[in-house]
Amino acid sequence: MDATGRIPRSGMRAAALGVAAACALAWTGTTLAQQTKIKIGLMLPYTGTYAALGTAITNGFKLAIQENGGKLGGREIEYFTVDDESDPAKAPDNANKLIKRDQVDVLVGTVHSGVALAMSKVARDNNTLLIIPNAGADEITGPLCAANVFRSSFSNSQFGIAMGKVMADQTKKTAVTLTWKYAAGDESVGGFKEAFEAGGGKVVKELSLPFPQVEFQPYLTEIAALKPDVVYAFFAGGGAVKFVKDYAAAGLTKTIPLVGPGFLTDGTLDAQGESAQGLLTTLHYGDGLNLPKNNAFRAAYAKTFSTPPDVYAVQGYDAAQLLIAGVNAVKGDLSKRADVVKAMETAKIESPRGAFALSKSHNPIHDIYLRKVDGKENKVIAVAIKNLNDPPRGCKL
Ligand code: BEZ
């Protein structure tokens, strides 16, 4: 300014140049950010008993991205894929490869709770955004919860709690449980036992075998001898196909009802055929849910992948929907992590299962349905528990 308080011409020119330069920089910055692809690491099982689950999650995830114009917050996407083989021992190396070698911005995975526990530790240690599209390990959204870790699926005890209540309400008195011996099965059975016994029943025997073994015969013989009112079993994928067929072949289906979390009959009905007919399960999804979102999702999925979707496809789809909510809120600028997290925490996800929000610990709060196998469908016959939220498990978020 000169003595008259006016800005001299030379000063105005300099100021104008400064503003132009700042605008150019900001413009260049935006352009650069938008030209860089967002790297997504998919760490899922593509071989072994959970292979079909990993494929369905991948398909569901990519379908939601495709419906979002193939981009996230205006940015192109690059996928990095690792087959985790459902092997917890390989999980730290696999997760580190994606984070350190491939430098992914976001990790998506996985199916197996033991793998997810190791994976979430690596994500916490590196502060990498992680979305879990299946594995239900209760601890991950309990004492191990973290601002950068989200789940689009469930926690393991949720379906056991629902089925325990349903069986107690049906006045069943005795139950035998059978599961693969690891976090998912233990927690599923734990939820069943807690609710069944609270309702007046008694779990008379807890049977288990190592994951992913499928030699069920000795356990079926023991169940036949114990003659409980009901059997609650946790198996999924290829193992669920074989178990349900073996249970029927042993002649048990008609004498001792078999129930379980929906994984027992989800994505498996083609292979299980007659052996699964009439089985009752509890899950946060059912094939025939007559919701506009579910109808549209099922049609789009079948058209894109030439196969009907299952619960795993829904969870993959919702993992992407959650990520879209976070990344769109910051227009693709992932350096605004706190804003990404806030948008994901407060998102209302229009899921094929029905709309849901996340709990404080980043786990879905959703309805749990009672389903009955009818032909090739898991038909919803009732809502077993409305808006189920996990009990507080020491999450400090
Ligand atoms: C789990 O390991 O958490 C899991 C695996 C398959 C189906 C459901 C849960």
pLDDT tens digits for range 273-309: 999 999 999 999 999 899 999 999 999 999 999 999 9
Nearest to 118 by CA among 98, 25, 373: 98
Q: Give the global pTM.
A: 0.92
d(Cα 236, Cα 61) in Å, to the nearest integer? 20
Q: Which atom of ligand 1 lies at the shortest distance from residue 135's CA?
A: 3
Say how many Å lie between the CA of residue 188 and the centre of ligand 1.
9
Q: How many CB atoms lie within 10 A of CB 365?
A: 13
pLDDT tens digits for range 151-173: 999 999 999 999 999 999 999 99
- One-character DSSP codes across 353-370: T--BEE-TTS-EEEEEEE
Report whether pLDDT(63) > 90.
Answer: yes
Say how many Å lie between the CA of residue 358 and the centre of ligand 1.
19
What residue ranges do the domains of the chain occupy?
Answer: 38-154+291-362, 157-283
d(Cα 128, Cα 123) in Å, to the nearest integer? 5
Q: Do domains 38-154+291-362 and 157-283 have the same CATH topology?
A: yes
CATH architecture assigned to 157-283: 3-Layer(aba) Sandwich (3.40)
- pLDDT number for residue 32: 55
d(Cα 325, Cα 303) in Å, to the nearest integer? 25
- What percentage of the chain reaches a pLDDT higher than 70? 91
Say how many Å lie between the CA of residue 102 and the centre of ligand 1.
27
Report whether pLDDT(366) > 70.
Answer: yes
- Give Cα separations from 216 to 8, 222, 266, 371 (angstroms): 90, 10, 20, 24
Q: Which atom of ligand 1 lies at the shortest distance from residue 115's CA?
A: 2
What's the fold here for domain 38-154+291-362?
Answer: Rossmann fold (3.40.50)
Element of type H or E holding 259 = strand 258-261
Report whether pLDDT(358) > 90.
Answer: yes
Report whether pLDDT(23) > 70.
Answer: no
d(Cα 100, Cα 374) in Å, to the nearest integer? 47
Q: Are the CB atoms for 69 and 28 separated by under 8 Å?
A: no
- pLDDT number for residue 180: 98
Q: Whole-number mean pLDDT of the chain?
A: 93
Q: How many CB atoms lie within 10 A of CB 26?
A: 10
pLDDT tens digits for range 199-241: 999 999 999 999 999 999 999 999 999 999 999 999 999 999 9
pLDDT tens digits for range 79-89: 999 999 999 99
